Amino acid sequence: MKKHLLLLLVFIFTACAYPTIGITHPNSTNPTSPSPTISQSATSGTIEQFKITKDLNPITVRVNVIILEDEKRPKSNFSLNDAEEKSLLKDYFERINLSWSKFYAPSNLTGCYTGSDFYEDSKIRFVFDYITIKDSYAWNYKNSGANLEKKNYAGISPSENWYLAYLDQKIAHDPSVQKGINVYLTMDGDNFDRLYQSKGAGYNLNGIEASQLPSLTKLDRTSSVNVPNRYLKYFYHRYELAKEHQTTWKETRGWHIGDAVGTAHELGHSLGLNHNNQYHQSNACQYSLMSQNWQHARNYLQPTEILKAHKNLRESNLIQFVTEDSFLGNTFTIPSNTHWTKTQRFYSNLMLSDHVELRISEPIIMAPRAAITFGNQSKIIFEKNGKISYPNGKEFANYVNKKSNSIIKN
């Protein structure tokens, strides 16, 4: 498996490695109010000292929700022309922002984290654009060779060579579509008619989603997530579960939206997070959003994981997908002579300490609201491909205390 292209399968609704039925548990609960945030006031420091503080503005990542349709069927996925379906779809994806903006401090971090710090808010948000594409081949994920019921998952995993690679490239080169993480709503074509006609009765499909880690070397690469059978799951919640539990669609609608924690988990993979980290093995932290076990709380991330996601938003192909106006509002200090040899995108101000030389050999992208402040006799030296620009490609101009010899181009 190639470096930077590790493909991760999330088994959303089961405690075991290979689920048999992907359903939402009607009795699962969440805390009613967030734990207090540990006060942090630092808004300035080096890149290595970066901390999440309450006063930061969130970074916003664009997500393209691709609603795939089978043109041979009159109905095959969520319709943006159907008020109920459109509202449900939007509420489902907006629920993801709750997962990333309101974490809860575990009462016991044993086996999860050895630090004492806690971030209630990741300061990462997602903005969703909904796009319908008619493509019978893409709609049916069985065309990938995957069979979830037979535990053959390889074909549904996004990569540069997966069955929707052609669609990734088509979307990437469509000027009418903003660059974003592509979330594909695919379907089990073999079971669709049976479950659609029965309104979810006999639903027995595995609840598995798949995502793609970011690339640190191919900054123009696409990033994708595969979310199979969400529309069929809607019918299961809308009709079958309401009947089984003798309740209303109003209640089971909430169960459906609660499934979004699984897709929030997948977007965690898109941001570079895994099921394990330096503090625990896979799924060993019962509070982590990145656990695959649906019975776990999944409403917490270690500060180190949140900072890892921010680092990838600065240094990986994710830089393509962040909105142009994203600006944290903090300041990174450059305290000593530094050489940047790779492309990075900053959502923060930069401040060069006195007598510091910052050498830049590859393009740097700055937020439109950001400023770069020069200390006494500090300099920026551009070498090779080095330059500083805004996300739209225009040359960066917001320098503070700039002198005639502050910028040197070699």
CATH number where 288 lies: 3.40.390
The per-residue pLDDT for 43 is 72
Averaged pLDDT score across all residues of the chain: 90
Residues 343, 264, single domain; the answer is: no
Residues 366, 278, single domain; the answer is: no
Mean pLDDT of 323-330: 98
The per-residue pLDDT for 73 is 97
The per-residue pLDDT for 5 is 38
pLDDT confidence tier of residue 152, bands split at 50, 70 and 90: confident
Mean pLDDT of 193-205: 96
The per-residue pLDDT for 151 is 83
Q: Is the pLDDT of residue 23 over 80?
A: no
d(CA 26, CA 243): 13
Q: Is the pLDDT of residue 236 over 90?
A: yes
The per-residue pLDDT for 155 is 84
325 occurs within a structural domain: no
The per-residue pLDDT for 42 is 45
Q: Judge contact between 60 and 126, C-beta under 8 A.
A: yes
The per-residue pLDDT for 154 is 82
The per-residue pLDDT for 36 is 37
Q: Which of 280, 298, 320 is the last residue of a domain?
A: 320
Q: Which of 292, 320, 348 is the last residue of a domain?
A: 320
pLDDT confidence tier of residue 147, bands split at 50, 70 and 90: confident
Those residues whose C-beta lies under 8 Å from the C-beta of residue 244, and which sit 6 or more positions away, are none
Q: Which of 289, 320, 351 is the last residue of a domain?
A: 320
Sheet strands (E) in 344-405: 344-346, 349-352, 357-360, 363-366, 372-373, 379-382, 387-389, 399-400
Helix/strand/coil for 299: coil
- Give the pLDDT confidence of 52-106 residue by residue, as tens digits: 999 999 999 999 999 999 999 999 999 999 999 999 999 999 999 999 999 999 9
pLDDT confidence tier of residue 44, bands split at 50, 70 and 90: confident
pLDDT confidence tier of residue 326, bands split at 50, 70 and 90: very high
Q: Is the pLDDT of residue 39 over 60?
A: no
Structure tokens at 283: 């799924």
The per-residue pLDDT for 294 is 86
Domain count, the chain: 2
2 occurs within a structural domain: no
Residues 212, 347, single domain; the answer is: no
Residues 109, 152, single domain; the answer is: yes
In the chain, % of residues over pLDDT 70: 90
Mean pLDDT of 106-126: 96
Closest CA to 301 of 136, 144, 156, 124: 124
Helix/strand/coil for 234: helix
Q: Is the pLDDT of residue 336 over 50?
A: yes
The per-residue pLDDT for 94 is 98
The per-residue pLDDT for 77 is 98
- Edge-to-edge strand order for the sheet containing 181-186? 7-11, 208-212, 224-228, 181-186, 59-69, 124-134
Residues in the chain: 410
Residues 289, 379, single domain; the answer is: no
pLDDT confidence tier of residue 6, bands split at 50, 70 and 90: very low
- Give the pLDDT confidence of 255-295 residue by residue, as tens digits: 999 999 999 999 999 999 999 999 999 999 999 999 999 89
Residues 199, 107, single domain; the answer is: yes
| Pure H helices in 173-328 | 192-197, 230-235, 242-244, 249-258, 260-270, 303-315
326 occurs within a structural domain: no
234 occurs within a structural domain: yes
Residues 335, 315, single domain; the answer is: no
The per-residue pLDDT for 136 is 98
1 occurs within a structural domain: no
Range of the domain at 51: 7-320
Residues 86, 206, single domain; the answer is: yes
Mean pLDDT of 196-208: 94
Q: Is the pLDDT of residue 15 over 50?
A: no
- Give the pLDDT confidence of 369-382 residue by residue, as tens digits: 999 999 999 999 99
Residues 91, 158, single domain; the answer is: yes
